[in-house]
Amino acid sequence: MIPVQGFDGRKVMVLGLGRSGLATARALRAGGAEALCWDDGAAGRAAAEAEGFALHDPMAPGAFDAVAALITSPGIPHLYPAPHRAIAAAWAAGVPVDNDVGLFFRSLGLAGWDGLDEPPRVVAVTGSNGKSTTSALIAHILRTAGRSVQLAGNIGRGVLDIDPPESGGVVVLELSSYQIELARALTPDIAVFTNLSPDHLDRHGGMGGYFAAKRRLFSEGGPDRAVVGVDEIEGQYMANQLAEGPGDARVIRVSARKLEGPGWDLVTRKGWLAEMRKAKQVAAIDLRAVRGLPGAHNHQNAACAYGACRALGLAPKEIEAAFHSFEGLPHRSQRVAEIGGVSYVNDSKATNVDAAVKALGAFTRIRWICGGLEKEGGLAALAPAAGEVVKAYVIGREAAAFALKLGAIPHEICGDMATAVARAAAEAQPGDTVLLAPAAASFDQYDSFEHRGRDFMEQVGKLRG
């Protein structure tokens, strides 16, 4: 646990008592603060009471008297589409609002580091797609190289729930826009931006607000080094803002296109990763044989992880060796089975169109299981990427409406996962890939994308008889 510093003997309110909220309350208590807890759900309040925390209704009269800060969970809106009433009440009372990520950066380096031979480092990863794989891959590479590493944030443990890092240890954080946008302290040593595509637009008031939330990790924290995907205009803008000149090696640019200039660039083309310094190639890795990182989108993830690890001092050969032992993450281009010459791949995490487009580009002869709760922006971008789709099998409560937007893509309305897997398996030929890449959220039929992915895997398991 990282004890929260700066609130010893003071009252701090914690709003939202899920995984990160309870971890925050524990860390506040460990740092000498009095944590006052509240959740709109009875189960969350009961969990806090079971651990001996006092409940404190933020809407009660005088609720913010003598309260030093309000710490809110990332899922609770504070601006768009409308602030939670407790956050609005904190504003009215003049009480600062923060989150666990802000407390983490505020507290991490304040105690005990003067006795370490080598200060720990923090790598923070954000972006629309690929940040989980990139974060996990960075941690895997470091661990394989013998480095002390912890993975936390939007993946793994809560940021305040990790152990105090050892001398020379590395903390790898996956951070969502929700976690970044409210944090009052953001000071990673290395920050990674994978890419940007429309997502969470209602929460951020549009694409500009969404990008602004992501950008705070770089503009507020001033990382020593930034790894930036520049295949979208937002990444190009941010890389330019961060660099002091054309050869500024503090910014490592990542692209699937050839880059010009004297800086530090990582280019992924035709299955190869090339490291360029001052317009000269200094290392190259063949990614086509890396089974855990299939497709161009995973090659971008590999390049981002490579850049972060090179910035930490690892050699190209160390990184390349670790690539080959990386098995990937569940629900992200996860190879589930091969039955009768047909591959079954679970990419349930492809919850938006951009992620689905990248998944479709990683395989050939695809039997595509798609559908669910459609997000803003429509499905028009899917059609150009569907050249390898033999047929789509559409699931979801609004499967018929979703299917209408697939245009000329051959499709069948299946409704549920069991029907979709059975129909795809019945029609698949050896060499085909049955790919779950929904291009939609899961909440019309499932609790989460993980739940949806597990259902796919269970249905595939039944095919073995």
194 annotated ligand-binding residue: no
> Is residue 459 within 8 Å of 434, Cβ to Cβ?
no
Rg of the chain, C-alpha, whole Å? 23
131 annotated ligand-binding residue: yes
325 annotated ligand-binding residue: no
128 annotated ligand-binding residue: yes
Is it true that the peptide bond before 164 is cis, omega within 30 degrees of 0? Answer: no
130 annotated ligand-binding residue: yes
129 annotated ligand-binding residue: yes
Q: 451: Cβ–Cβ under 8 A, 6 or more apart, which residues?
A: 442
Binding positions for ATP: 127-133
Binding positions: 127-133
